[in-house]
């Protein structure tokens, strides 16, 4: 059985450890990844990036690909349904800073699913296989993130894992829920284990990991080579240090201010404010006296107003 914190090698990538940050749309921008890396995350995936958006030279798409100084070992997650467009994206200059391409075959969101992308590819094995094969021909290290099926009671994680390996994937991440479960309910450990036992490439387990105990249990029950943390990191990016057995406390004020300082020159005040109102509320969630500040955080009109609220929170010992 894999141990938490051990190195994980796949394709041309040598991850510093086997506790990864999931690709989270709207959250895993470069500043958040930088924070999670500082707490020990082994790999931090970008937000979901549209292959078509890259093809059409979308400025919004390019912003998702911004990296911080010194960021090298980060995989980019792509979504799409056209093998040729996805391969072109893999070969593009915009993706050259990224160590690997992760193919999204698990997103359950209706607008993605209805376009035949994300988890919709689980209903089309031949197309999924062509996509993986095409992207592998780009020369990139390729991983695939997928769910165990579309509906509860109709799961096929092992079969899809074999397809991924056969098409050339270097690593797979298995989210232990079906598409109709979205992000609720206990993950199906048996399905993740079945996928692990079906292939020789590394398997990362995803779903329901909020603590070190959860991560240890996931490895024990599935035999996976690593774990991927999602929502827990949104609320507490320091969870990586906790899972890896590090320090239990972190300087939330410094972390919030560092994210703002990183984001402001790249995204501007409006986007940075909206993002950091949300993230600040997440980080303060569950701490003593934070409820009285939540509405004020979401309503503050400027970064200077946000700073005033943060000063009040930290000076009053809320955290």
Give the helix, strand, coil percentages of the chain, each rounded to 5. Answer: 50, 15, 35
Phi, psi of 172, deg, nearest 5: -130, 145
Q: Under 8 Å CB-to-CB from 153, ≥6 apart: which residues?
A: none
Of 36, 90, 99, 107, which residue is the catalytic one?
A: 107
> What is the DSSP annotation of 42-101?
SEEPPPEEEHHHHHTT-HHHHHHT---TT--S-EEEEE-S-HHHHHHHHTSGGGTT-SEE
DSSP for 4-41, written as a single string: TT--EEETTEEESSSEEEPP-TTT--HHHHHHHHHTT-
Clarify whether 107 is annotated catalytic: yes
Question: Rounded CA gap, 94 and 78, in Å?
Answer: 12
The catalytic site residues sit at: 107
């Amino acid at each position: 059985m894999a141990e938490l914190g051990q190195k994980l090698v796949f394709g041309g990538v040598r991850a510093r450890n086997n506790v990864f940050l999931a690709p989270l749309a709207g959250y895993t921008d470069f500043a958040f990844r930088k924070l999670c890396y500082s707490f020990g995350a082994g790999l931090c995936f970008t937000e979901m990036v549209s292959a078509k958006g890259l093809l059409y030279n979308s400025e919004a798409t390019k912003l998702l690909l911004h990296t911080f100084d010194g960021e090298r070992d980060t995989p980019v997650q792509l979504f799409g349904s056209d093998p040729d467009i996805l391969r072109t994206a893999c070969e593009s200059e915009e993706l050259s800073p990224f160590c690997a391409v992760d193919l999204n075959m698990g997103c359950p969101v209706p607008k993605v699913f209805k376009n035949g992308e994300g988890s919709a590819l689980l209903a089309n094995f031949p197309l999924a296989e062509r996509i993986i094969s095409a992207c592998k021909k780009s020369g990139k290290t390729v991983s695939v993130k997928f769910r165990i099926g579309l509906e509860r009671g109709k799961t096929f994680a092992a079969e899809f894992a074999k397809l991924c390996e056969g098409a050339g994937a270097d690593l797979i991440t298995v989210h232990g829920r079906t598409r109709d479960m979205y992000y609720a309910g206990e993950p199906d450990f048996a399905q993740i284990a079945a996928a692990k036992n079906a292939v020789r490439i590394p398997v990362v387990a995803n779903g329901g990991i909020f603590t070190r105990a959860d991560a240890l249990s996931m490895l024990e029950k599935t035999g996976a080579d690593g774990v991927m943390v999602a929502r827990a990191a949104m609320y507490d990016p320091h969870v990586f240090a906790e899972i890896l057995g590090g320090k239990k406390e972190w300087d939330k004020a410094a972390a919030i201010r560092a994210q703002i300082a990183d984001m402001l020159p790249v995204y501007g005040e409006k986007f940075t404010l909206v993002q950091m109102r949300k993230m600040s509320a997440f980080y303060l969630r569950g701490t003593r006296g934070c409820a009285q500040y939540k509405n004020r955080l979401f309503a503050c009109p400027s970064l200077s107003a946000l700073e005033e609220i943060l000063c009040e929170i930290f000076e009053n010992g809320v955290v």
